[in-house]
Structure 1
Amino acid sequence: MKQYLLNIFEMHGMGDYVWSAYSVFIIGFFFFILVNFLILKKLRTVDKTVLNKGEKDSSKIRTRVGHYESS
């Protein structure tokens, strides 16, 4: 399939251009996946810490609200 596409473009005299664009696209795509993976990993750890803090804060708020209600 790749060779077929290259033959079509070479008939139009754009073979080198298409090949370089194709390789740049592949390299950029893998780089994009790598960066996204690292960012998502960081976001997940941040979400966990935020969620844990949020649960602690909400439980404090609940106990405070319950305390105020009882008093």
Structure 2
Amino acid sequence: MNHFFQSLRRHMGVLRTVFYKTAAETQNTGCRSFIESYRNRLFVGIFSKLVFFILMHITFFSFHLF
């Protein structure tokens, strides 16, 4: 359970970093593009995390089965 909270905290840190990075880029491009780029990065981040999570669980359960 502790490991779960650690990974959650790390993911929050990644999201915060992405948010600030995009915010820094935005100050000269404007709000609409900021929302667009943040949404795109968020989607990519969540998608990659989901794939990683599924792969981790597949390997974990296969180790337990065999």
Structure 2 unmatched ranges of 5 or more: 1-26
**Could you list the runs of 5+ residues in structure 1 that have no partner in the other structure?**
1-31
Higher relative CO (Cα under 8 Å, sequence separation at least 6) belongs to: 2
Partner of 2:33: 38
Whole-angstrom distance in 2 between the partners of 1:48 and 1:42: 10
Say whether residues 1:67 and 2:62 are aligned partners: yes
Give RMSD over aligned pairs: 1.7
Alignment TM-score, normalising by the size of structure 1:
0.48
TM-score (norm: length of structure 2): 0.51
1:61 to partner: Cα distance: 0.3
Identity of aligned residues (%): 3
Structure possessing the higher radius of gyration over alpha carbons: 1
